[in-house]
């Protein structure tokens, strides 16, 4: 993959500027949480391969939620898993690492990929390889000011911070020019452990209020 053939993030994800990362104990926990998130205005979720059964559950979830949500597959570290996710309809791929064989597999599948890194070398390597955006992980280590530093040598780079991004950090990263924010625990809370779905909907709506781009903005 190269920059000229860079697949973009799906339109709903780009407009929402918010990806909700869902990491559970079992894939059968996803559906009630996705239903609640979609109802609260969330438009993009990343289901993680560290949750057993995710690839098996993906087609069912896409059939049920695909008209309301972009569903990406995350924590992808094996090209074989990337190919299966793409074949089963994933809208985009997220990986915590920057590795050539994953870029090659994404290019072959024609799917947008968001690779992770922290150092300028890692982030530039992912961007130069044709990533839709690069994931700064863990974002809490560097903070939103890091984006300005990166844009000095890499003016066009698109960044999605991930790791420890709470409501206030989401606001400041987006103000700094992040493409989107990737949010897990601060939004999900205890929803995957039997916590209140009503409280989840309230938290989700707060994040949607901060991240959704206003018309014409």
Q: Which residues are catalytic?
A: 46, 135
**Cα(16)–Cα(179) distance, rounded to whole angstroms?**
10
Local structure of 70: helix, strand or coil: strand
Q: In what order do the strands lie in the sheet with 134-136?
A: 159-161, 134-136, 113-117, 93-95, 70-74, 44-48, 18-22, 181-183
Give CB contacts under 8 A, 24+ apart, made by 196-200. Answer: 197/32, 197/33, 197/36, 200/33, 200/36, 200/37, 200/40
Structure token digits, residue 209: 């209020």
Q: Calculate the dihedral angle through the C-alpha atoms of 26, 64, 106, 13, rounding to the nearest 10 degrees.
A: -100
Local structure of 89: helix, strand or coil: coil
Instruction: Tell me the H-state helices in the chain.
Output: 11-16, 30-39, 54-65, 79-87, 100-109, 120-128, 145-151, 167-175, 185-188, 197-211
**Cα(93)–Cα(152) distance, rounded to whole angstroms?**
27
DSSP designation for 9: P
């Amino acid at each position: 993959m190269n920059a000229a053939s860079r697949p973009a993030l799906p339109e709903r994800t780009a407009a929402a500027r918010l990806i909700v990362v869902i990491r559970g104990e079992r894939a059968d926990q996803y559906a009630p949480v996705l239903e609640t998130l979609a109802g609260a205005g969330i438009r993009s979720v990343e289901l993680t391969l560290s949750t057993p059964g995710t690839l098996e559950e993906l087609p069912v979830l896409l059939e049920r939620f695909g008209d309301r949500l972009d569903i990406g597959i995350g924590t992808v570290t094996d090209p074989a898993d990337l190919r299966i996710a793409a074949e089963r309809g994933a809208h985009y791929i997220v990986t915590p690492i920057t590795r050539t064989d994953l870029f090659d597999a994404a290019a072959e599948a024609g799917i947008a990929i968001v690779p992770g890194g922290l150092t300028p070398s890692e982030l530039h390597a992912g961007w130069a390889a044709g990533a839709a955006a690069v994931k700064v992980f863990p974002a809490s280590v560097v903070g939103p000011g890091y984006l300005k530093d990166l844009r000095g040598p890499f003016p066009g780079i698109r960044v999605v911070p991930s790791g420890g991004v709470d409501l206030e950090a989401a606001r400041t990263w987006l103000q700094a020019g992040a493409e989107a924010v990737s949010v897990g625990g601060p939004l999900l809370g205890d929803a995957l452990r039997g916590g209140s779905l009503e409280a989840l909907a309230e938290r989700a709506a707060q994040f949607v209020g901060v991240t959704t781009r206003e018309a014409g903005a």
